[in-house]
Amino acid sequence: MDVLIICFSQTGNTETIANKIRKGILDGGNNCTVNFMKNASGNDIHHYDLVGIGTPTFFYREPLNVNTFIKNMDKGEGKHCFVFCTHGSIMGNTFYYMQNELKKKGYIVIGAFDSYADSSLQFYPKVMHTAQHPDEIELNEAEKFGKDICDISVSIQNGESGLIPDFELIENTWWAEASKMLTPENLQQVFPRFTINPDKCTRCLVCQDNCPVDAIDMEVEPPEIQKEGCIFCLFCEKMCCEGAIEADWTLAKKMTRDNLSKYVSVLKEAEKQGKFRPYVDYEKIA
């Protein structure tokens, strides 16, 4: 079986999971290619028997660029697909929305995998609750998922339709309500406008080259940042080695202060269920 994995990854966590899934697929005697979403095309899928799409979770669902990529994919015509994500504590409705869009394009989602991942946004502490994730256990689970997914595809083709998952939309939770409010328009109000300090900027183009939606243009005068289409991943400000991209995080820190204790509650429950392993004293972070 020929498998294509398309992933969106910034800090490398989702890419790590993608490569572990790939290893499992290869160990099962199949072929597998991993491609980054920014370099991929939605019409590449015709050459493959099975397609995987991976992403980090943003604001309790898939990022806007991932949603747009799926919408622009060629029709699947019953082609099998699997999805996977990394998240900082709450996966939210990521798989529901991805499956919903893929169904509209004619794909059949036959499996899903999620993993905790080390993450830290500028308005949160540098060491976060999910530090050192994905851990060895999650990496092994990702590899096993890769080994199994091709066999699942074959079984479904042979009539075992009961293996197809169906994700339900989760509502009436604090994070689901927050997710509804975190529209691009509202994010513009919550997050600061970035500015570029001309005395620090060397025009290295690292931010421009790594922007997932090409919302940065450092080759015009004055340079443009957070252009239309920005998905508020906030990664450009973090990755600027010169500190030339500047922002005031006061409002964002104030508005998200209560979230830390909520994340701790979620992770404590996941720990009881054996789904999460803390490597820091995450209760002190809140």
Q: Which residue ranges form the domains of the chain, and what is each CATH number?
A: 2-163 (3.40.50.360), 193-247 (3.30.70.20)
DSSP assignment letter at 61: B
pLDDT value at position 286?
A: 65
Residues of the chain falling short of pLDDT 50: none
Return the closest-CA partner of residue 124 out of 257, 262, 237: 257
Cis peptide before 56 (omega within 30 of 0): no
Q: Are 140 and 16 in contact (CB under 8 A)?
A: no
DSSP letters for 91-133: -TTHHHHHHHHHHHTT-EEEEEEEEE-----TTS-SS-TTTT-
Return the closest-CA partner of residue 134 out of 69, 88, 189, 187: 88
